[in-house]
């Protein structure tokens, strides 16, 4: 059987808005000029990739959430990969929710396998107190790690922790932005505090909304979608928070256009979640690259970089009063200085540099 060199990347989310996966896919396509396919879930109103360089496949599932969805999706993924077998020699599974269908098919077909851990899946807030589900996802991830020939994650601490748990090394490919287009640009700023990303439990968004009452001269933009969005929209209406604005998920380019107008970026997390404790979110780097001063939780990965560059701020606790007081006492002069230091941080931690590690990691499979 003749098999072309090519890569399939598997996710369960909406491909259109997955900044990390799109960036990785485009980088590997440009580096190796092979067919790169992303397989995700079909959502209503999907946009198509505009570059015409990637192949996007979306699996239409009857179930939309819960265990039934994950079982159905992985069955559909398995059969898709079997049928598609001549179009790729390498498979990358993103997070445990694509492992059973993806890795099983790859094992049967003797494909190269790569595992990309975007987070510590079993320790997200949604699984807090659900010991059986945690055990199941941990065993699924263990299966994927054992089969995979290469593994990587989004930050040094998380990579180290996953390596400790599963006994296999993880490389680090951080989700940092392309900064060449932004370098030395000064974006016109407005009194905006932005949160971008999943609107899920543990992201401190109730704190941000509470703080908005003490920040009437700021617009608070919550850009994204997630499990608690409807609940937070009810809270906004009940508390009459007119300066809080919800914006639906945006493509990476659209998100950049919205973010660059903001003065401050929100990145406070519930540190009781081990997944968040070890996190290194892309928004932390995106804010800096776009001249946005971020306010972050006092967590190890963020603390390390903020101490080095002094370009952003930290808070120990999820406290609305502390957050509002911090914003209100920052002088414009200090904000501008942090913006400049943030640009330096973004240049020294850019995708232009980080992508070299990614290209090298896939070299044995795609070159």
Q: Which residues pair with 150 in a beta bridge?
A: 114
Cα(314)–Cα(334) distance, integer angstroms: 15
Cβ neighbour number for residue 67 with a 10 Å cutoff: 10
Q: Is 184 left (phi over 0), alpha (psi -120 to 50) or beta?
A: left
| pTM score of the predicted model | 0.94
Give per-residue burial for 194-204: e unless 16+ CB within 10 Å, then b: bbbbbbbbbbb
Say if residues 326 and 295 touch (Cβ distance below 8 Å). yes
Cα(271)–Cα(128) distance, integer angstroms: 12
For the segment 326-330, the average pLDDT, to the nearest whole number, is 95
Position 166 confidence tier, pLDDT thresholds 50, 70, 90? very high
38-52, 104-118, 199-213: least confident range: 38-52
pLDDT tens track for 256-300: 999 999 999 999 999 889 999 999 999 999 999 999 999 999 999
Q: Write out the CATH class of domain 6-176+351-366.
A: alpha beta
Percent of the chain, pLDDT > 90? Answer: 89
Q: Quick one: CATH architecture of 192-348?
A: 3-Layer(aba) Sandwich (3.40)
Cα(221)–Cα(209) distance, integer angstroms: 10
pLDDT tens track for 53-103: 999 999 999 999 999 999 999 999 999 999 999 999 999 999 999 999 999
- Give the pLDDT confidence score for residue 181 in this predicted structure: 58
- Give the pLDDT confidence score for residue 235 in this predicted structure: 93
DSSP 228: T
Position 176 confidence tier, pLDDT thresholds 50, 70, 90? very high
CA distances from 267 to 83, 127, 213, 218, 293 (A): 42, 21, 19, 17, 11
- Give the pLDDT confidence score for residue 43 in this predicted structure: 87
Runs of H (alpha helix) within the chain: 19-32, 66-83, 99-109, 131-147, 156-166, 205-211, 229-239, 252-259, 274-277, 282-289, 300-309, 320-329, 332-348, 351-366
Position 51 confidence tier, pLDDT thresholds 50, 70, 90? low
Q: Is 95 left (phi over 0), alpha (psi -120 to 50) or beta?
A: left
Give per-residue burial for 127-155: e unless 16+ CB within 10 Å, then b: beeeeeebebbbebbbbbbebbebbbbbb
In sequence order, what are the residues at sequence separation of 6 or more whose Cβ sits closer than 8 angstroms to the Cβ of residue 36?
6, 7, 9, 25, 26, 28, 29, 53, 54, 55
Position 44 pLDDT exceeds 90: no
Q: Which residues pair with 114 in a beta bridge?
A: 92, 150
For the segment 150-161, the average pLDDT, to the nearest whole number, is 97
- Three-class DSSP category at 265: strand
Domain(s) labelled CATH 3.40.50.2000 in the chain stretch across 6-176+351-366, 192-348
- Give the pLDDT confidence score for residue 4 in this predicted structure: 81
């Amino acid at each position: 059987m003749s098999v072309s060199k090519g890569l399939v990347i598997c996710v369960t989310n909406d491909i259109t808005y997955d900044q990390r996966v799109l960036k990785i896919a485009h980088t590997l396509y440009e580096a190796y000029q092979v067919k790169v396919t992303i397989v995700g879930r079909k959502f209503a109103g999907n946009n198509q990739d505009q570059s015409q360089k990637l192949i996007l496949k979306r699996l239409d599932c009857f179930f939309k959430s819960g265990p039934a969805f994950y079982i159905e999706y992985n069955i559909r993924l398995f059969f898709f990969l079997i049928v598609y077998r001549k179009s790729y020699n390498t498979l990358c599974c993103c997070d445990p929710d694509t492992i059973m269908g993806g890795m099983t098919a790859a094992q049967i077909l003797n494909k190269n396998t790569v595992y990309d851990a975007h987070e510590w899946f079993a320790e997200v807030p949604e699984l807090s107190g659900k010991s059986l589900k945690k055990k199941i996802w941990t065993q699924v991830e263990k299966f994927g790690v054992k089969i995979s020939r290469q593994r990587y994650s989004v930050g040094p601490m998380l990579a180290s922790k996953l390596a400790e748990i599963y006994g296999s090394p993880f490389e680090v490919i951080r989700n940092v932005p392309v900064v060449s287009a932004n370098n030395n640009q000064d974006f016109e700023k407005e009194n905006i505090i932005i949160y971008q990303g999943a609107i899920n439990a543990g992201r401190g968004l109730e704190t941000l909304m509470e703080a908005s009452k003490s920040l009437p001269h700021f617009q608070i933009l919550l850009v994204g979608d997630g499990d608690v969005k409807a609940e937070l929209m009810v809270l906004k209406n009940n508390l009459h928070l007119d300066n809080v604005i919800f914006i639906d998920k945006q493509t990476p380019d659209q998100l950049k256009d919205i973010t660059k107008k903001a003065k401050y970026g929100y990145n406070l997390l519930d540190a009781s979640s081990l997944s968040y404790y070890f996190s290194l979110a892309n928004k932390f780097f995106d804010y800096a690259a776009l001249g946005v001063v971020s306010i972050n939780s006092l967590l190890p990965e963020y603390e390390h970089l903020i101490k080095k560059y002094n370009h952003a701020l930290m808070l120990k606790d999820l406290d609305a009063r502390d957050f509002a007081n911090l914003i209100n006492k920052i002088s414009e002069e200090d904000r501008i200085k942090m913006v400049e230091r943030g640009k330096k941080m973004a240049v020294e931690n850019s995708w232009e540099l980080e992508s070299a590690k990614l290209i090298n990691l896939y070299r044995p499979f795609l070159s």
